[in-house]
Structures are given as C-alpha cells and as structure tokens.
C-alpha cells in the first residue's frame, strides 16, 4: 500500500502547518498504539545485570523486542508523514522520541508567535479573501482557538465584531437588521452572528441574482 493511502492528513511542510500536523500525527500514533514510545512513556528496557536470573533475561529480551518494534514503526510513521524538507532534520535519527523532539524544536512556535499570528489573522481577515462567508467565519474561529491554546481567550463579543468588520460593504444593511433583532445588551448577537454565516451568504447570493437579472434587462 502506498504511503499516500495510509496518511489521510497533510504531511508536515514546516512552520506553517506544524501545529495541525502535530495533532494529526499524534492521533495516528495513538490509534496504532505507538504514542507511548514516541512520547517517552514507554522507555527502552535497561540491560539486566550479568547475575540476573534466566527469567529476568528472557523478560528483558521480550520487552526489548517489543520496544524496538514499536520504535521502528513510530519512526516510519513520523518520517512518511513529513515532506522532504522536514525529513532532512530527522534522516539520521533512529529513536522516535528524538525524532519528535527534533521536529518540535525546529517547527513549534512560541506562545508569543502564535498569539501574534492569530491576532493578525483575526484583525486583517476579510470576507473577500475567502471563497465563502462560511470559510471566512471558520477562519476567524480557528484563529480564536489558537489564541485560546495559549491561555488567551477571545471573547465572543469581540469575535462577533471582527466578523462584522470584515464583511463586504454591500452586506451592511442586512447585518444591521440582524443585529437589531438580537440581544446586544448581553452580546448574544455576536455569537449568533457567527452562526448566521450561511444565512448571510444566502442573502448575498440572492442579492447577486437580483442584480444579475436587473442588468440583463
């Protein structure tokens, strides 16, 4: 079976997708029973003393075989789930924990960097940058989740405001009507507004159809 059929998530490219790759490969390793050897929870068995009993030596040999098998499979999964660039950093490493720590040191962003990039995405994203309003809303939610992962929660009211600020100008009359119909005093409208992305998108399509018909007459 080809490796592309085994890994149903994007391969590690570098800094730009390390965080999502880390989550995906961790889940994959856990599903194969290989996460403990990768995280170091399952350590390589220590060599028994020369005066150890034959039973202890047999147990060591069995435990070592199990560890080596899991370690080799984990190394294989990590290697094949990375593109050529990241592989350069782990090509000569044969221990799963060392592979993991090497990639982490190379690509994991600090909390400060994560916050900076997330804030830029939150404040600079516009509806026009995406194929649909739903994609735009989902992008803001992902950026807010990144902030939350560092312990900095983006309030719902702020997320709602940022969502509205990035919408196309021709939607302003429609969104103004929606905000007035909700409960601004409790900021419930902001959370509801994010959930109304499909409805807003449908309204935009309807408006475009009307203009298209009008222009053809």
Q: How far apart are CA 64 and CA 100, in angstroms?
A: 20
Q: How many angstroms separate the Cα of 94 from the Cα of each of 2, 69, 81, 82?
A: 22, 12, 16, 15
Q: Count CB neighbours of 6 within 10 A.
A: 12
For residue 82, the cross-strand partners are: 12
Residue 82: DSSP 8-state: B
Task: Give mean pLDDT, residues 77-88.
Answer: 95
For residues 6 and 80, the answer to whether their CB atoms sit within 8 Å is yes
Structural tokens at position 70: 């899991």
Of 63-67, 111-115, 179-183, give the lowest mean pLDDT range: 179-183
Q: How far apart are CA 157 and CA 159, in angstroms?
A: 5
Q: How many angstroms separate the Cα of 156 from the Cα of each of 12, 42, 112, 188, 216?
A: 32, 41, 22, 8, 42
What are the DSSP calls for 55-70, one per residue? Answer: HHHHHHHHHHHHHHHH
Q: Find the radius of gyration of the CA atoms of the chain.
A: 25
Task: Give mean pLDDT, residues 63-82.
Answer: 96
CA dihedral 70, 76, 81, 86 (to 10 degrees): 120
Q: Count CB neighbours of 157 within 10 A.
A: 15
- 3 state DSSP class of 12: strand
pLDDT averaged over the chain? 80
Q: What's the pLDDT score for residue 65?
A: 97
Question: Global pTM?
Answer: 0.53
For residue 12, the cross-strand partners are: 82
* Helix H or strand E encompassing 162: helix 156-165
Per-residue pLDDT band for 179 (boundaries 50, 70, 90) equals low
Q: Count Cα neighbours of 9 within 13 Å in the Cβ-side half-sphere.
A: 18
Residue 152 reports pLDDT greater than 80: no
Q: How far apart are CA 166 and CA 172, in angstroms?
A: 11
């Amino acid at each position: 079976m080809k490796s592309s059929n085994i890994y149903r998530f994007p391969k590690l490219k570098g800094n730009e997708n390390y965080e999502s790759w880390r989550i995906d490969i961790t889940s994959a390793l856990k599903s194969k029973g290989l996460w403990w050897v990768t995280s170091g929870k399952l350590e390589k068995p220590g060599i028994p003393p020369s005066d150890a009993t034959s039973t202890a030596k047999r147990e060591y040999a069995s435990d070592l075989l199990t560890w080596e098998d899991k370690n080799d499979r984990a190394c294989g999964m990590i290697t094949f789930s990375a593109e050529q660039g990241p592989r350069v950093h782990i090509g000569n490493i044969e221990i799963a924990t060392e592979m993991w720590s090497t990639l982490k040191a190379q690509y994991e962003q600090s909390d400060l960097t994560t916050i900076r990039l997330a804030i830029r995405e939150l404040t600079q994203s516009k509806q026009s940058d995406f194929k649909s309003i739903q994609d735009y809303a989902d992008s803001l939610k992902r950026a807010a989740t990144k902030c939350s992962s560092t312990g900095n929660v983006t309030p719902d009211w702020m997320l709602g405001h940022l969502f509205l600020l990035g919408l196309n100008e021709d939607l302003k009359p429609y969104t103004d009507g929606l905000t007035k119909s909700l409960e601004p005093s409790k900021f419930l409208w902001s959370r509801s507004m994010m959930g109304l992305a499909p409805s807003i998108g449908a309204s935009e399509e309807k408006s475009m159809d009307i203009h298209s018909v009008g222009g053809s007459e």
